[in-house]
Amino acid sequence: MSAKPLNSLQVANRAHEAYKLRLAGHSYREIASMIGLSKSEVHRCCEEWREDHLLATEEAAHTLRADESARLDSMLLALQPKIEAGEERAIDTALRIQARRAALWGIDAPTRAEVAGTVNIKISLE
């Protein structure tokens, strides 16, 4: 008698479990034996889980940045008459708003940092 096919929720749960085990440091081979899939199926599950959830996270982050940017636009617009009148405090506030927008969208050039020390790298080929 063959096993019943898994529904989409069961497949998603199995993929999530495989991904959690991979993050915990298990090899694909170990995960395969733990959850009853082939090594290639475990690899596929982990890749699909990562892609699906990273994409959703990136889309949510983009939406949040767009909302925050709209708030900054509103603040800057409200300050505009005072900025045009030359009020120093309004100009300073506008500059802080612009700095916040630059940080929000990654507009500024990255800060360069030098790191000294020893790095140990362990590579495991499966």
Handedness of CA 16, 22, 25, 30 (dihedral sign): positive
Q: Which tens digits make up the pLDDT trace of 24-51? A: 889 999 999 998 889 999 998 888 888 8
CA distances from 3 to 6, 22, 84 (A): 9, 26, 74
Task: Show the CA angle centred on residue 93, arms to residues 109 and 80, nearest 5°.
Answer: 105
- The answer on pLDDT for 16 being more than 50 is yes
Residue labelled with tokens 């991904």: 19
Q: Which tens digits make up the pLDDT trace of 37-90? A: 899 999 988 888 888 777 777 888 888 888 899 989 999 999 999 999 999 999
The whole-angstrom separation of Cα 50 and Cα 53 is 5
Answer yes or no: pTM beyond 0.75: no
